[in-house]
Amino acid sequence: MAGATPISAGATTQEERTMAVLAHVLQVVGCWIAPLIVLIIKRESRFVSFHALQALFLQVLYMVLIGVFVVAWFTAIFVTVAHAPQTKGAPMGIFILMPIVWLGWIWLWAMMLVVAIVYGIKAGRGEWAEYPVLGRWARGVLKIGPGGAPIP
């Protein structure tokens, strides 16, 4: 195969693009488990590893933010109940805070859904698209440069 053109670092196969799309899209229903499975299965592919690791980092960030919301929610409930006058019925602060926390959870999930779809489409096109901050972290962990070139 002396006459074959060498494959560049950025060239991807259809299977790699499909697995990268699955890493992004399945995180919506599979949480952090789906990108982790894709990362483990296709560890030898820099393209798939890069996209799966980004999705995994996004899920970790999502779980941390949900944890912050839960802690804030319980703290607010305990503070509201502790400072509420001894009257019948629930404190009014809970009725005000509940929709705000619920909307925060819905907003986080919707943003994660949008990011998963957008970057899933980009991965399907074979692009080395990276999340704003998490993409740099993923490239650092995998020791790859922009476009998938290995860092010496």
Q: Per-residue pLDDT tens for 76-128?
A: 778 777 776 666 666 666 777 778 878 888 998 899 899 999 999 999 998 88
Q: How confident is the model at residue 10 (pLDDT cuts 50, 70, 90)?
A: low
Flag whether pLDDT at 144 surpasses 70: yes
pTM over 0.75: yes
At residue 143's C-alpha, the angle toward residues 122 and 115, to 5°, is 25
DSSP state of 86: S
